[in-house]
Each structure stands twice: as C-alpha cells, then as structure tokens.
Structure 1
Amino acid sequence: MILAAALALSACGGGGNGGAVFPFLPSPPTDGTQPPVVQPPVPAPTCAVAIPADAPLTAIPEIQGTGDRSPMADQTAATVRGVVVGDFQAIPNGDTRLNGFFVQSLVPDADPLSSEGLFVYAPSNATRVKVGDYVQVSGAVTEYGQTAGANAKPDSLTQIAGTVDKPVAVTVCGSDIPMAATAITLPVESETTLERYEGMLVEIAQPLAVSELFELGRYGQMVLALNGRQFNPTNGNAAATHAQNLLARIVLDDGNSRQNPNPIPYLSSADTHGTRRMGDMTQKVRGILSHNFAAYRIQPTEESTFVQANPRPDTAPAVGGTLKVASLNVLNYFTTFQDGTTAAGQTGQGCTLGSGAPSAGNCRGANNRTEFDRQQAKIVAAIAGLDADVIGLMEIQNTDVATDNLVAALNARLGAGTYDSVRSGSFGTDAIKVDILYKPARVQRVGGLVFPTGTDLTDYVAPSGRPPLAQRFAVVGNNGGFWFVVNHFKSKGSCPSTGDVDQGQGCFNLARTQQATALSSFVDKLKAQGESDVLMMGDFNSYLLEDPTRVFEAAGHESLLKRLPANDRYTYVFGGETGSLDHAYASASLAGQVSGVGVWHINADEPTAIDYNTDFTTDDRYAPTPFRASDHDPVQVGLNLAADAAVTQPILGGTIPATARAGESYVVTISDAQPGGTATLTSLSVDWGDGSAPTAATGPGTVAHTYTAEGSFNVVITLTNSAGQTATQSGTVAVSRIVVIPPGAPDLFFSEYVEGSSSNKAIELYNPTSATLDLSLYAVKLYSNGASTPTNTQALSGTLAPRATLVLANSNATAAFKPAGTITSSVVNYNGDDALTLEKSGNVIDRIGQVGFDPGTEWKSGSVGTLDQTLRRKSGIQAGDPNPLQPFDPALQWDVLPLNTSDGLGSHTTN
C-alpha cells in the first residue's frame, strides 16, 4: 500500500501534537504462527505541525487493514507518523527509482494480520528524507496499480497520494531512529500471508536459489526460491505442486521502476563475461516488502551476496561412445529478417509458412543484419562446442537457404566439408521446420529423407504444422546404422478458452499426445524397412512425466534423460520452474548401444539479457560465446553402434511446386542426388506427366518445363544407380490456363510506378473507362528475382469510379507517397528487377517487367529504367500490356521522372 501525491513540505519543531510515548505492544509474528515478542516503549519525536482537519491522525495498520486492499482507499485522507525504513526517492537529475519512500510504525499494534508499513509517493520535487527519519505525512489513501474490471483481482500497493488540488504534506520530525527488520520465513502459509508485511522492512535469512531470470535485464528483478531452484511438478524432480512452489519463492527487485536498467543488477562481473545463473545461492535478502505486477517482492535496502553455485560449463558433458548425436533448438534462425532484408543483402523480402506468398510478418528471428550476425556467432559457437557427428535442429527457417547459411558458417570455423545438411527443402505449414546436419567423414546417409504419410502425417502435423524428419545413417567404418528422427511438438502457449486446455500438463497436452501416438506409428514403419535402431530427439514441449513420454515408453522406447541425476534433467525454464522439454528416446534395440546421455546447460540457466537481441539492451552484455545462444539447452547422446552389413541406397531430394500456368516456365528443383555407397549415377530425369519426353539432369539444380494445356499432372523425379536401384520423388501439379487479352480494349492499367529510395515505392492504377469498375475482379501480383510464380498477391476490393486512380504503397513509405485512399500492401515490396502483373478474373491485363526473367538489377532502355526512378504511363495509353512473358522495354510506354518523384500519385490524365 502507498501514500502518493505532489508534496508540500513543512518545517519541524517541538510541541504540538507530537511527543507521545507509545505503550508496550506486541510485534507481529513472522509468519502468523510464531508468538509475539514484546518490545519496550519507544519515545516518539515531537512533530510541531498541526494535523489537517480533513486528514485525521491514523495508525498505519488501520490504513492497511487485513485484506489486499485498504478499507480507506479512494474514500478519505489521513495523516500517518512513522520511521522511514526504505528511501527510494528519485536521484536529482538521475534515476526516478521508485519515486518515494516507505514508512513504518515506530511500535506495532496488537493485530498480527495488518501491516505496519506504507509507501509514500514522493516524486522528484519532494524534499529529501533518509532512512531513520521520523516523519508525519498527510494525503489521500489510494491503491497504486489497481487492476481494472469489476471481477479483477487487486494487483496493487497501498499508498498515500496527493490530489491535483491538495498535495501531500511531509514533515521530518526526527532522525537516526533504528528499526529492526521483521523476519519472514518461506514457505508462507498461503498466497495472502505476505500482505500483512506489505511496506515493512523485512528479512529472509534462509538459503535462497535463483529460479527465474527472464526479467533481470528488462526490469532488474529475479525470482528466488527456498533451498534450491524449483522444478516443474510434471518433470518428476520433486513432489511439490505448482501452488507449493509459489509459496516458497520471492521476487528480488532492484528498488527502481526503470526499464532496461544500466547496469543490469546482480551480475557476477561488469564485463561481458558477467552472468547470474539459475541455482546460484544467497543466504539472506533484506529490504522492503512491496506488491507490484502480481507478485510480492523485496526492494533491497542492503546488498545480497550470491555464490555461483552453478558455474558455467565451458565444455559439453562427456557421453562416451564412438558416435555423438545431439539436438538443439536454434531459437528461430532466419536468414530473412523481420525488417524485410536478408543475409544475402536483399531488401523487401518475406518468409512463407512452408509455401504461399512471403511476408516479413512471417519472419520470427533476427530483426536485422546486426542481430543476425550476433545470433549466428552464438549458434555456431554452441554447435562447434557440441562437436556432434549428427545434430537435429529445431526452429530454423523453413528453407534450405537458412540451413545452407548455417552450414557455411560452421565450416568457415571448423574447416571445409566438416558439416553437411540433408537438404530437406521447405515442408509443413509453419515458418519454421526441423532439420539435420551431419559430418560426412563420420556417417553416411542411407537412402533419402523420409516423412510420415497418411494418418501418421495428418495426426502429427495438425496441431503444429511441423512434420518430423527421418534419415537413416550408417557409421563410416563399421556401417553401424540407425534411424534419426527429429521433432518439434505443439507448444504449451496460446491456450484456448475451451477444449484442449491446461489440465495439469500445460495447454494442448491432448494434441501432443496425439503427435506422440502418430510418431510411434511412423517409427514402427521405419523399423520395418530393415533397421530397428531408432533415436528420436527434439523439442517435444512436454516434461518427463507427461503423457507423450508415457506413450513412447509404452511403445518400447527408453526416455534417456531419466538416466541422468534428477537435478540434471532439464533443458528449459519457464515461470520460475525448471524442466526438460527436449528429449532423447531410444528404441529397445538401440538402448543397449547408448553409452551416455548429457545436457549441456549453456542456455536455460542464463539471463535472457545476454542473448543476441539488441532491443532493450541499454547495458549490452553480448559476447560471441555459446552461452544463451538459445532458450533451450542442447541434448547429447553417445552411441556404440554394432557393426552392420553395408547398405547402399540412392538419395534423392527435390521440390515440386504444386501449381503452374500453361505457357509459363515451370521449375522443379533437385536439391540432392546421390547414387549411394560406391555406386555411380546412371540416370536422373524428370517426367512431367503430360506425355512429353522426360527431361534429363546431371545432378542437383533446376529443371524447367512449359505446359501447353491446363490440367492435373503427376511429376516424377527418378534417379537410377549402377546397382540398378532407383529413388523417386513425385508430386502433383495443377496447371491453369493463362489467357492473353489482345491490347486495345480499355481497362484498368498501371499508370505510375515509383521505385524510390529505401521504402518509397508505390504503384498507381487508373480506370480509363466511363464505367465504375468492380475491383474484386482484379489482383496485383509480384514476381521477385525472376520468379515464374507469384511471390506476393494483393487482391483488390471495392469499386473505382471512371477516370479515378488507386494507389498501392509500401507500408513504410513516407507520407508523400501515400495520397488519400492509398492501400498499403506487401505486393509493393519490390526492387528494380522484380516484375508486376495486373490480372482480371485470373487473366493478365497489364505488366511491368517480364515474368520468369531476372534482368539483373533492372529493365532499362536508354535512360528509362525500373530502378531508382519514377515511371509515368504515356498519356496516349488507354489499356495495359497483357504480355507478361515477353521482353519488357520500359521506354515504349513510359516516361521517366527523377528518383522519389511523387507529385503525380493520385491523379492521371490520358489523351
């Protein structure tokens, strides 16, 4: 509870209403159960200032009451007297801190359930007070931070606060009065127990462990728990429930309301090696007990000493064996950034959800190149430190571009060819996927990637959109083989209001259990292909005692993390509770070949503030080390695989787009083509399914074909090796017709094109007819970097009056490029080498550029080009150019204007 307002200060003196001697009164018990301790009488200093008639002298406990809200709040004013036990006033020309101070009754009353402390809101214009001062304060009783809503639970601190027309009055009547701290012990009896100490000087003299660091860098606070870090109840480490965990913890704050404190408090050193890890211990905290942001917290009045009980592990734990397999969540490793740029230097780009139109809104990783470089350095350091022969990745961008980038960075550090990827392409319906890296010198792939099919696929993918990835490997040397299956289950977040709600195992437990059942079925099918040794790893988003683990164990798989000591079974911290969301499950035949399992605790124990992000980093503690490379710890498994007979299987991987247009170039990508073992490649071809001759290929790359008719066709990529073995990949393509309308008939067309600096890009559409056009028939499509299929589409809506214009602009363009009525659209995220089409009812009626062709930087004819210029349609043009596949000469129909010309947007004239 707090006493707040603008302050009016009065002088102190003798006589008046002060000078009373408080009687013998019992002090409040420390936890509501201990007997009271009688204190001797203490003479109170004299306060010479009269007590306001409208703010009668009131004991602090009367204001606090015995509930979480003052019975006097927002109803009356009061005068209180007490000793300053915590000074958190603003520093002149510096931090605002808490903008006030805490006062406490010189002698407590007889009610152990009511607090003796109170906060006085005293902003920067207040006269200074100091700890030990005896003060008289008059003002209005209020609740700071009261949650709104009729049924909302109060989340507030009781205070005395001034009003606009009546500021708080503070009188310093004495000084240097010592006050003893009230002892508090954890666990408390209930969630309301600590309310009786709100605003008081308290001390917890018990072993306390750091149990949560998520907000250390943001708000300067961390969670401390009795005797040791707290584990999630369903992880199996301790018998405590979540409710019991809450009663045995306290928030240690920094006595400051600022965000992004500089320096970050409580770190072990002032340099970039400074940290504070989960499990670090202190034996005592002392300060004021306050209540803010739904938690009781200590605002410290003296520094706590921490022991680094959980030092950083500089090396990954030894797991033995002749082969090491690992998994690591790479925390949204994207090479397309949230600002629309890419690691390759492109601008105006976006991310897809496995397929479809790209959008920067789908990108989840680094905000920009600066953040990405920091992220990459940490991820590379972590993977290099793991030194795994095979590693499964979670949360990598759903393209091979991101994986190839990571492989290149790893090999730049470790040596050319150290790692390779399985080239999984894009799959599923999420912006992220799982992927696999391996060391070709240590293992070889046996056959290609395998995805689940049928109900195994639909049941697994439905909750998350992220299919598992399976690859069979054989050890170089003894051909010992195993299946490696990487997973990323549905998360516990974004809880629904009904249905699959939290029933003790987090939200969507039913969905994760369904995924576990589907995965077990898929693994059975993998075993049927001649290899029973299976290792499933990844982020299963479920703890060790939850239903998905029970499903795997019932199917005969061993949960390998259960081999570790209980306190080592964790990879993640959430809400102050530690547990393992990442797992390794071994099939029955593989379990006996497991030499060891380990978790490298480089991420979950570290403060979020030291990761790669640059936002909210006033005190930037980044270092290119593996620590806090991600939010999950990596898991490792050592294997001693028994020798197997050599198995040769060809490997084939590729991407078969699902749609095409007759008359347009259709491109299939072959990402991987290996004959397998010592065999050689005999043939590689693509059968287009339309009766035309298959197109031969010599290896990975692109193969193009032009369909002449619409329809549905089965495209098959086939590889044959010298041993007579084949590998195939097939997919169905739906081919639609493209109708080219002869020029001449007036219709909507592009009338202005702006390719300005930075995001200053816009296109103008003009209706040259005498009729109002139904815009729902039209769409604008963007074809980036020579693409033959759209990379972004903007469907239009509404109507457009005769001889009126409609402007589409980049959302980040300046106001000059957004006349009244402008629509902001990602279809305008183009550069000079990107083509645009305008379609009506699916038919092209106008274009800028040539679809399916990359001109390099721009289409240009003389001084007229599509880069860094404004183009305005010549006044004689009444209809668009409906030939998107033909070479584009901008000088034929367009006049050129200087860079960033925008004065013509929103109006157009024709002859």
Structure 2
Amino acid sequence: MKVSPFLLLSTALLSTAVASECTTQFTAIPAIQGTGNSSPLLGQQLTTRGVVTAVVYPNSKAAGLVLRSTERGNTTASDSLFIADPDSAATYQPGQLLQITGSVAEVNQLTSLTTVTQISVCGSKPDIQPVTLQLPLADGQNWEQLEGAWLRFEQPLTVNDTYSLGRYGEITLADKRLMTATEIMLPGKDATALATVQQERHMLVLDDGLYQQNPDPVLFPSGGLTADNTLRIGDSLSGVEGVLLQDERGYRLLPTKMPQFSVHNPRPAKPQQKPAKALRIASFNVLNYFNGEGQPQPFPTRRGASTATELERQQAKLIVALAALDADVIGLLEVENNGYSQKGALASLTNALNKVASKPYRFIITKQQPGSDAIKVALLYRPSSVSVEGNAAILLSKPFDWGSRPPLAQSFRHLQSNELVTVSINHFKSKGSCPKDAASKDADQQDGQACWNALRTVSAKALSDWLASQPTGVKTDKQIILGDLNAYRLEDPVRMLEQQGWKYLKAETGPQYSYVYRGRTGSLDHALASPALAKKLAAMQHWAINADEPVFLDYNVEFKSDNLQQLLYAPTPYRSSDHDPLIATFQF
C-alpha cells in the first residue's frame, strides 16, 4: 500500500490503556528544547513524555515522530520535539501519549531525541489541535520557539519561490509577494535590513514531506506539476497546515494535509498585435542559447544545452516566445559569442525563428568581434518594418573591456513614419563572483546592491556618453537603452542613466518586474529612452512568461525521469528563459 507523503493526523486513534511502565519521572520537552539555538541538555540520556502530533518522512531513513509536551513550562521554549527513530515512526500513531527514553542530540540543527532505548504508551489525547499562526511572525517570536510545532495558517499564503520545487519538492510562501529591497527603496542600511531581517519573518518553506530528491510526480500544485498545470509566483495557498522542522537548509513546514491551491497570477496571453503604424522594440534574454559551433565537439555546449535534444527543446520554446513579441526590433542577450556565420548560434536562432514568424527577421553584424565573453548581445530586425541606417557600433573600450558584455547600437528608419531611432542593447556585469579584495570599491558594500555596483554605475555613465556621440553615424534625438543592467530599479546604475536625462519607461499596468531570486521579485531588465522618444511611448509591457514559472518547466532534462521529461515540457513560451522580455511600443 502506498503511504501518503502528507503527515496525516488520524482521528480514529488507537484505544490504548495506560502502560505500567509510564512513570511520573520525566523531563518536560520545553526543558529539553531550551531557549537557545541548541538544547541545554545536549548529549544527556533522559526520559520525556508527550503526545504524538505527526509521523514524518514515513518509510525513509529520516522517519520519526513529533511529540508535543503535556507540560507547558517555559513559554519561550518550544513544546514539541522530534524523535529520530524510524522504528517508532512505523509503530506509533498521532494522538498516542508516549513516554520515551533516548539521547538528546542536534540532528542537522534540529533538536531531537535519538538512540531510543524504551517507549511506553501512556494513553491517548484525541483532542489535540494545531497552533494557529499568522505571518509575519510577531515581534519577539521566532521559528526556534516553534520548532516541531503543529501549525495552522488561517490566512492565505502567497507563493514567492518555486526554484527548488522540482529538485526537492519545496516552495517558499509568504503573507504577500515580497519585492527585492532595492526595487522599492534606495540602497543603504534600511534596504539591507529589509532583505536580511524583516522579510525573513514573512517567509516559510513548505516541503512535500517525501524526503527525496527529484520526486516523480512533483506533488505541488494539486494534481501534480505538469507543463500545463503550473504553479506561478503570486498564486496562493489556503488551509496550510503542518509540522515545523529544521535542517541545514533552514526551517520548513511538512504538511499534514494538502493545502488548497488558487490561481491568482494566471499565465499571460501573448502580447496584443502591434498597431499597423507603430514601432515595437523588445528585449529578450535567451538564457545561454549555445549551439556549440566552433567547439571540437558541439555538446555539451559551454553554457547552454548539454545535448542536441536539449537544444531542440530550448530552441522550440524560444522561437515561439520571440515570434509572439511581434516586434520590429529585438535585442537579444546571452547568445553564444561564436560569430555571424550561418552555422553560428545567432544565425541558427534567426533561421529557426523565421520558420514560425509572420514576417522574417535579419540580424545585425558588427565588424569587430563583440568582446571576449562566452556570450554576447545581438539585434534582430524586420526589413518589412525598418531599414538599417548608419553603421553597427560596439563599445569595446573601458569599462566594457572586461566583465560587462560590450553594448551594441544600431540606427533604424521606421518605414511607416520615416523616423530614425537608435537602439542600444546591453548586458552589464552580474552581481556574482565578487572581487577577492574586500577593500575593492566593487566589493559588496552591504547596501543591497551586491558586488560590482561601482563597475555597473561607471558603465551606465559611459554608455550614456557613448550614445550622446551618435556612434552609429546617424544623428537622431530618438534613442533607447534596453536590456539586462543587472541592477534593480532604484540601484545606482539605473538612477545614473536617469540623471543623464534618460526617461525610465514604466508599464502603466501589469507586472513591473522581470526576475525572481531567492523569493524576492524585482526587475534587472529595463528600458530607458531619450526624452524625444519617450514622448512617443504608446505602451510598455513586461511579458511575465518566465520569472514566475517553475524552473523545472524549462528545456533541461537533468534531474528528471523519462516520465517527467515528457510531462513537464511543452514548446510554449512559458519558462523559455529565466528573465521576462520587455516590449516597448511607440506611435509616431
């Protein structure tokens, strides 16, 4: 018989008489837990007593029981304790009152009773109820005080992260959608405090309780995760109930029943068709589109697809998404930097796109190699809508000689209006791989902007100055900067561009974000226009097809059974990348 992964609490409890072995001499659970991060009785052999609230991780090496004390005692200490004993998990049931002898230990930071030598059934407590809890945690309250507790959340909780859903069966919940601190407030101590202290009190990981990697099926949402049955950031759960445990990854709630999932952030339809006389410019991070051309063996590629099959799956999702943009000019990011030949990655992607696009695209070719990085930025355009004017320009000098991908600029004439527009696609240095010198100005300044902020800020100023010089050889007051600046909305690089006179293009409705990282939502992708072009903005959109979706729905086959490789994949735009595309439509 298949055992439910949920820690079902039985209402039909065993009727057991009080055993003669039960004595009045035992150590209460709050005394074992103490008020610190570890037990004050660590290593001691002792006897304790409590009622079973749950059987956790059944049929696994980590299986055990959770006891709740019948003696409250210290109200600042947890009244629940994990019994790390698979044999007990297979023998006893929720509601039974047990007296257990064993050794106090910290198992993966979870206070536990191990090496169990004796268990006595002392009766039953059929009326046990969970503790009702509200997020965020109240002042003075912390998760350590609730370790092992059987909790019930009567408020709906919002999905904030699904990154580990496919690998470990867990999602991050909060009482609301949490934003990256520097998306909504200026960098500084307050932003750091919001991210590292305050928001943590709003968040809780919900674990599927299976104690296994790569579960098949993936239990969340109801009915199991599939390519069509998704779980998006912003969706909500009600009736969340479970037992709070801790391991090396932190605190997590193991559900005692399946919560109810509600779609509050449905998948968006494709963007509206571009008005006939409008100019539409978009950007899309294609998440390391590599075809391996130029390598001794094409697969695995340096950063993208590991096999030809993965490349086929990746490409199918990308071209459907790119075609749906209905854009006249598309700036691409994270294309393999392996030239402009018909065998290169850029040509391969363009040729595949033209098989499904309503109007064919061409790509811009630069005379110079676009930097030494493994990836590059690129530009596609529709000759039916725009003509190429001037020269393709690429900035290879400092600060773009290292770290950041060199920006690419090209001027286009919009055929319907005869207007000249210069488009610059950009990909600034990422926040990771911090400098080894902690005194470096590019080290993390602990203000919420992470590493390399100084380089990104200098890059923003250099980019603005470069575009002011009309680098394509075409003089026009209508210019646009777009792409992944690796800076959130209120960080220094974006504000630097605004200080130089660029106008931030903000969507009037819909999502204002493009990326989700560690349970926080923000935008690393931005569009800023010169004042003359900004006045012509008709619509701005973040098309939320990627950041909100589980990463397990992408093209990769790693960590997926044969069944899941089929079940979780579809050649649709959803999770075609990790960044959402931007779409700016101008009407002249």
Instruction: State the TM-score, normalizing by the size of structure 2.
Output: 0.88
Q: Match for 1:349: what amino acid? A: Q
Residue of structure 2 aligned with 1:624, choices 552, 556, 571:
571
Q: Match for 2:181: what amino acid? A: P
* Cα drift, residue 72 of structure 1: 1.5
Q: Match for 1:49: what amino acid? A: E
Name the structure 1 match of 2:278: 322
Q: Match for 1:62: what amino acid? A: A
Name the structure 2 match of 1:332: 288
* Cα drift, residue 256 of structure 1: 2.2
* Cα drift, residue 413 of structure 1: 1.9
- Stretch deviating more after TM superposition (581-590 or 291-300): 291-300
Residue of structure 1 aligned with 2:391, choices 410, 429, 448:
448
Name the structure 1 match of 2:475: 530
* Cα drift, residue 348 of structure 1: 3.6
Instruction: Kindly indicate whether residue 75 of structure 2 is the aligned counterpart of residue 129 of structure 1.
Output: no
CA contact (8 A) 2:57 2:210 kept: no
Name the structure 2 match of 1:421: 363
* Cα drift, residue 427 of structure 1: 2.0
Aligned mates of 1:191, 1:435 — CA distance in 2: 52
Instruction: Kindly indicate whether residue 71 of structure 2 is the aligned counterpart of residue 112 of structure 1.
Output: no
Residue of structure 2 aligned with 1:349, choices 294, 297, 316:
297
SS at match of 1:407: helix
Aligned CA distance change for structure 1 residues 607 and 377 (closer, same or farther; 3 Å) = same
Once the two structures are superposed, the pairs formed by residues 568-583 of structure 1 within 5 Å of their partners are 568-583=511-526
Aligned CA distance change for structure 1 residues 103 and 586 (closer, same or farther; 3 Å) = same
* Cα drift, residue 237 of structure 1: 7.6
The Cα offsets for residues 441-474 of structure 1, whole Å up to 9 and x where unpaired, read as 1111112310125xxx21133333x100111111
The Cα offsets for residues 186-219 of structure 1, whole Å up to 9 and x where unpaired, read as 2224697121110011112223111111111111
Name the structure 1 match of 2:169: 220
Instruction: Kindly indicate whether residue 399 of structure 2 is the aligned counterpart of residue 459 of structure 1.
Output: yes
* Cα drift, residue 171 of structure 1: 3.5
Q: Match for 2:433: what amino acid? A: S
Aligned mates of 2:206, 2:138 — CA distance in 1: 20
Q: Match for 1:103: what amino acid? A: L
Aligned CA distance change for structure 1 residues 202 and 97 (closer, same or farther; 3 Å) = farther
SS at match of 2:72: coil
Q: Match for 2:209: what amino acid? A: G
The Cα offsets for residues 527-565 of structure 1, whole Å up to 9 and x where unpaired, read as 77411211111011111111111111111111102x435
CA contact (8 A) 2:22 2:120 kept: no
Where does structure 1 lack aligned partners over 5 or more consecutive residues? 1-12, 15-43, 146-155, 337-341, 351-359, 642-911
SS at match of 1:478: coil
The Cα offsets for residues 47-97 of structure 1, whole Å up to 9 and x where unpaired, read as 333679xxx721111110111111112x21122221111112433xxxx28
SS at match of 1:231: coil
Aligned mates of 2:300, 2:90 — CA distance in 1: 50
SS at match of 1:536: strand
* Cα drift, residue 332 of structure 1: 0.3
Aligned CA distance change for structure 1 residues 442 and 594 (closer, same or farther; 3 Å) = same
CA contact (8 A) 1:597 1:637 kept: yes
Aligned mates of 1:421, 1:347 — CA distance in 2: 22
SS at match of 2:392: coil
Identity %: 38
* Cα drift, residue 370 of structure 1: 1.4
Aligned mates of 1:318, 1:575 — CA distance in 2: 34
Name the structure 1 match of 2:9: none
Aligned mates of 2:46, 2:79 — CA distance in 1: 15
Root-mean-square deviation over aligned CA pairs? 2.6
Aligned CA distance change for structure 1 residues 139 and 547 (closer, same or farther; 3 Å) = same
The Cα offsets for residues 271-319 of structure 1, whole Å up to 9 and x where unpaired, read as 4301001111123311111122342221111221121000001212577
Name the structure 1 match of 2:209: 255
Q: May I ask how many residue pairs the two structures share in their alignment?
A: 552
Residue of structure 2 aligned with 1:633, choices 551, 556, 580:
580
Name the structure 1 match of 2:118: 169
The Cα offsets for residues 813-839 of structure 1, whole Å up to 9 and x where unpaired, read as xxxxxxxxxxxxxxxxxxxxxxxxxxx
Name the structure 1 match of 2:184: 236
CA contact (8 A) 2:503 2:530 kept: yes
Q: Match for 2:50: what amino acid? A: G
Q: Match for 2:503: what amino acid? A: E
Name the structure 2 match of 1:62: 31
Residue of structure 1 aligned with 2:501, choices 529, 538, 556:
556
SS at match of 2:332: strand
SS at match of 1:180: coil
The Cα offsets for residues 713-739 of structure 1, whole Å up to 9 and x where unpaired, read as xxxxxxxxxxxxxxxxxxxxxxxxxxx
Instruction: Kindly indicate whether residue 547 of structure 2 is the aligned counterpart of residue 610 of structure 1.
Output: no
Instruction: State the TM-score, normalizing by the size of structure 1.
Output: 0.58
Name the structure 1 match of 2:3: none
Q: Match for 2:29: what amino acid? A: I
Once the two structures are superposed, the pairs formed by residues 175-194 of structure 1 within 5 Å of their partners are 175=124, 177-189=126-138, 193-194=142-143
- Stretch deviating more after TM superposition (607-616 or 443-452): 443-452
Aligned CA distance change for structure 1 residues 126 and 286 (closer, same or farther; 3 Å) = closer
Aligned mates of 1:319, 1:63 — CA distance in 2: 66
Aligned CA distance change for structure 1 residues 629 and 383 (closer, same or farther; 3 Å) = same
* Cα drift, residue 125 of structure 1: 8.5
Name the structure 2 match of 1:587: 530
Aligned mates of 2:233, 2:357 — CA distance in 1: 31
Instruction: Kindly indicate whether residue 309 of structure 2 is the aligned counterpart of residue 374 of structure 1.
Output: no
Runs of 4+ in 1 over 6 A off after TM superposition: 237-240
Q: Match for 1:568: what amino acid? A: P
Q: Match for 2:364: what amino acid? A: V
Aligned mates of 1:385, 1:628 — CA distance in 2: 14
CA contact (8 A) 2:389 2:474 kept: no
The Cα offsets for residues 214-254 of structure 1, whole Å up to 9 and x where unpaired, read as 1111111111111x210011112899821221111111111
Aligned CA distance change for structure 1 residues 111 and 583 (closer, same or farther; 3 Å) = same
Q: Which has the higher contact order (CA 8 A, sep 6+)?
A: 2
Name the structure 1 match of 2:336: 397
Aligned mates of 1:472, 1:319 — CA distance in 2: 20
* Cα drift, residue 480 of structure 1: 1.5
Name the structure 2 match of 1:505: 449
SS at match of 1:463: coil
Where does structure 2 lack aligned partners over 5 or more consecutive residues? 1-13
* Cα drift, residue 601 of structure 1: 0.2
Aligned mates of 2:417, 2:273 — CA distance in 1: 22
Aligned mates of 1:633, 1:120 — CA distance in 2: 45
Larger radius of gyration: 1
Name the structure 1 match of 2:242: 287
* Cα drift, residue 486 of structure 1: 0.4
Aligned CA distance change for structure 1 residues 586 and 501 (closer, same or farther; 3 Å) = same
Q: Match for 1:560: what amino acid? A: L
Name the structure 1 match of 2:63: 99
CA contact (8 A) 1:234 1:543 kept: yes
CA contact (8 A) 2:56 2:89 kept: no
Q: Match for 1:493: what amino acid? A: G
Instruction: Kindly indicate whether residue 46 of structure 2 is the aligned counterpart of residue 90 of structure 1.
Output: no
